[in-house]
Structure 1
Amino acid sequence: MFTIIGTLLGGIGLFLLGMILLTEGLTALAGDRLRTTLGRLTGSRLKAVLSGAAITALVQSSHATTLATIGFVSAGLLSLSQAIGVVIGANLGTTSTGWLVSLLGLKLSIGSLLLPLVGVGVLLRLLGRGRLASAGIALAGFGVLFVGLDLLQGGMGGLAERIDLSRFGAATLGARFMLLLVGLVMTLLMQSSSAALAITLTALATGTLSLEQAGAMVIGQNLGSTFTAALAAIGATVAAKRTALIHILFNIGAGTLAFFILPLLIWLADWLTGDGLGDHQALTLAAFHTLFNLLGAALFLPFTAQLAALAERLLPEPRPALTRHLDASMQVVPSLAVEAAHGTLRQCAQVVLQNAAARLRNEEAGFVVANLDEARDAAEVVARYLARLPEAEGEVLNRLNACLHLLDHVRQSAHEALKIRWQPEVEAIIPLSQHARELASLLLNAAQALTDHRQEEEIEPALQALRGHNQDIRLSILQASATRRRAMEATLEGLTLARSCERLSYHGERCLFYLQGLAGEDKIPPGSLVEAGPDPLADEETA
């Protein structure tokens, strides 16, 4: 028993180590090209399902597809909606094992085939550089992962073989449920639903089980395969955990439906297979396995958006809302990290502009989801996040430069907005109050444009024009003070507020400029998103 427990723990440890290496390798290999390729393969629900099914049928393991999908989601290469289609396709693709066993009498296991990948991956990591070294990490992780699964299967296979299948001979619902549990436990022990399916097919062929009994066990084995996804989500990002949760929900839903209409599905599978090649009963069981997964796909695929929303509610993001996209695993890939920072700064700019507009109107910003302090803190997190990036070059360097400019203007906007204070004497300065309200209206329009991800080309020149009127407002305040029509305290407060308005209009306009440049699909020419000159407000402190 000690040997079995030691083997089990070692297998789990190797599995988790392989998952960590696989995720790190995929993240390091990720880039715009890989992201574009994945986007094409999973661009629609049908494409995602077909891709998942094809990959699983090719490698003969839904584990491989599911784990790779979780790795891609963890690395930020696949969205949750795209991953749902791949996971559903993986469940369809894994049914090909039953057809191969039934028709050819073969059982393919990729664990031993992938063992050489560990050695090849380590050599690439030691001898290669850049992407080659990253590919080595991913290959080694993929191999170690399945070595761990094989170790689990070898350590626990003896226990699975001791299960007395003949004990559950009755065709009642209770006996059917017990057989479902037996199938589930077999998969948990062997860590391979395909291996458990092969044992079930053998039992069916020798007459140990009836078709309905074997069908109940197959449902349990399908449910047991979710344990691997749950294990892979340990220590992963929230997005990866949501992918694993959806995999579990799909298998439970499809399995529950198949359990209650089992006789009908068995009859339909028997009718479809007829007197085909190979063992007829085994073919019927393979067809049953395919049918209930197809039924589950047909029911779940139209509701991928709802599934994603459910997963997000069940597994909420623990980090602050503004910085939830700053995944540390993406920092090894500057292109992905810059995009994450860009998205975060867009939200920060939106919050800052909304709060600034409310302060300019002397109102409470009750409609804002976050306050200025949160936006300012998030901007500081972005600064530390970008500071840890490796050296960038080419297009990524241009986008990083633009992102840093954007970061500076967001921080400066928050700083100026925090300085806005309305005193009764200042509110009485009519030109300044009107100017502040006009600026507030433009900033609100800009914030709404950012929320809707649309470009408002009129806002930037309007902010520039409004800034041009600031000098006249300051002169009118000074003249009123010089002719003793306004108290000195009100004059100084008014000049401070006018200065803040001028700086807010400038930094707000530059925020829009960089956000629109970063959001464009075309490549950013070198130097196109940099300041045309020094800050025009930098030397006006004593003006």
Structure 2
Amino acid sequence: MANDTALDGSKSRTIPTSVRGLLVLALLYLFLTGVNLLGGGFKSLGSDLVDGLFQGVSNPLAGLFVGLLATVLVQSSSVSTSVIVGLVASGVVSTSDAVPMIMGANLGTTVTNTLASLGHVRRDAEFRRAFAAATVHDFFNILAVAVFLPLELATGFLSSSSLWITERVVGSGGSDFKSPLKAAVKLPANLVKDLLASLGAHGDLKGGLMIAVGLAFIFVALTFITKNMRLLVADRVEAAINKALGAGSGFVAMALGVVITVAVQSSSITTSVLVPLAASGVLTLENIYPVTLG
């Protein structure tokens, strides 16, 4: 069985990089289609039903825990954050209500590396080092929420800043811009809508099914994007971290954390790689911290 697994892994790594690149683009297209369906589904639902579903997230603490629980359930902050972005884009959730939900998603993503540390639970010394490494990420996100959530509630700084940046990037006339990507994404989304209509789904039922299909597309796309990118860079991640930390520069290590996370589209993978390195004594908490920041 182990040999079969190893053989499967070696086969998956023989796929050419160009093919993997095309696969990522196809999955990204699927992801955008899912976001389109998600927004369209909520627009298809009655306004009273939508207001009832999301009435609770206007409470910042409720929004925080919704984001946290959603991320823990799907084990991906990318999925939960993408869903929140889709809700804001469709007008179901306001930007100010989304901020605590995003913070909750950031808290939820720390669960993965904590679970990774449990793999060393039978060896006391290793488990102490591994669990301490995992909680570096936990405490950083907890402290970030402790600082920025009260600031947002008191001043609206984060939501107003995001709107200011949007105006600078998109421009005040951004609503008149006809995006070719948006037009391309509408084609498969409309096919799904027509299929549901042909099956007799209308009104709230059609909206609910669109939401379910959209969520499935988002989850599948991000899951396979992450797996695909991880296979592309898995052999290089550990070596790159050791090399950067060997250079003795915290800024280099932080930049490396940014690059790796962008490459694999998962902060959980980056931080989880650090856990076994800490457990074996290769890295100290001081080494791990700048990579976690990145």
Bucket of the pairwise TM-score, normalised by the shorter protein = 0.5 to 0.7
2:293 to 219, 224, 230: 219
> 1:172-205: per-residue Cα shift (whole Å, max 9, x none)?
4xx2222222222222222222222222223322
Find the aligned partners of 2:221 and 2:65 in 1 and give their Cα distance.
Answer: 28
AA aligned to 1:24 is G
| Residue in 1 that maps onto 2:114 | 99
Offset, 1:142: 1.4
1:23 to 33, 36, 39: 39
> In the alignment, is residue 151 of structure 1 matched against residue 224 of structure 2?
yes
> In the alignment, is residue 13 of structure 1 matched against residue 86 of structure 2?
no
1:169 to 245, 249, 255: 245
Offset, 1:133: 2.1
8 Å contact from structure 2 (residues 233, 264) kept in 1: yes
Find the aligned partners of 1:136 and 1:37 in 2 and give their Cα distance.
Answer: 16
Find the aligned partners of 2:116 and 2:42 in 1 and give their Cα distance.
Answer: 33
AA aligned to 1:191 is Q
Find the aligned partners of 2:47 and 2:34 in 1 and give their Cα distance.
Answer: 22
Q: 1:54 to 1:158 in 2, by over 3 A?
A: closer
> In the alignment, is residue 53 of structure 1 matched against residue 50 of structure 2?
no
Q: 1:147 to 1:59 in 2, by over 3 A?
A: closer
| Alignment map for 1:444-483 (pairs within 5 Å) | none
- Runs of 4+ in structure 1 displaced over 6 angstroms? none
> In the alignment, is residue 134 of structure 1 matched against residue 213 of structure 2?
no
SS state at 1:169 partner: helix
Q: 1:52 to 1:70 in 2, by over 3 A?
A: same
Find the aligned partners of 2:226 and 2:61 in 1 and give their Cα distance.
Answer: 33
8 Å contact from structure 1 (residues 126, 133) kept in 2: no
AA aligned to 1:87 is I
8 Å contact from structure 1 (residues 30, 77) kept in 2: no
2:53 to 26, 37, 49: 37
Offset, 1:30: 4.9
Percent identity for Structure 1 against Structure 2 = 31
SS state at 1:76 partner: coil
Offset, 1:167: 0.9
Which structure 1 segments of 5+ residues have no match? 106-120, 221-543
8 Å contact from structure 1 (residues 19, 141) kept in 2: yes
Find the aligned partners of 2:279 and 2:243 in 1 and give their Cα distance.
Answer: 17
| Residue in 1 that maps onto 2:96 | 81
Q: Which has the higher contact order (CA 8 A, sep 6+)?
A: 2
| Alignment map for 1:351-500 (pairs within 5 Å) | none
AA aligned to 2:284 is S
Offset, 1:170: 4.2
> In the alignment, is residue 196 of structure 1 matched against residue 270 of structure 2?
yes
> 1:139-192: per-residue Cα shift (whole Å, max 9, x none)?
2221112222233223322332213122123484xx222222222222222222
Offset, 1:17: 1.7
| Residue in 2 that maps onto 1:113 | none
Find the aligned partners of 1:96 and 1:12 in 2 and give their Cα distance.
Answer: 26
| Residue in 2 that maps onto 1:284 | none
Offset, 1:82: 1.0
1:70 to 85, 94, 100: 85
> 1:199-243: per-residue Cα shift (whole Å, max 9, x none)?
2223322334322222222222xxxxxxxxxxxxxxxxxxxxxxx
AA aligned to 2:285 is L
Find the aligned partners of 1:2 and 1:99 in 2 and give their Cα distance.
Answer: 34
Find the aligned partners of 2:223 and 2:63 in 1 and give their Cα distance.
Answer: 28
> 1:247-291: per-residue Cα shift (whole Å, max 9, x none)?
xxxxxxxxxxxxxxxxxxxxxxxxxxxxxxxxxxxxxxxxxxxxx
Offset, 1:2: 1.6
Q: 1:30 to 1:52 in 2, by over 3 A?
A: farther
Find the aligned partners of 2:223 and 2:20 in 1 and give their Cα distance.
Answer: 13
Q: What is the number of residues matched between the two proteins? A: 203
| Residue in 2 that maps onto 1:349 | none
> 1:47-68: per-residue Cα shift (whole Å, max 9, x none)?
2222222222232222232122
| Residue in 2 that maps onto 1:280 | none
8 Å contact from structure 1 (residues 66, 87) kept in 2: yes
Which structure 2 segments of 5+ residues have no match? 1-16, 121-191
Offset, 1:84: 1.3
SS state at 2:112 partner: helix
CA RMSD of aligned residues (A): 2.7
8 Å contact from structure 1 (residues 125, 132) kept in 2: no
AA aligned to 1:190 is V
Find the aligned partners of 2:197 and 2:264 in 1 and give their Cα distance.
Answer: 31
AA aligned to 1:154 is K
TM-score by length of 2: 0.61
| Residue in 2 that maps onto 1:321 | none
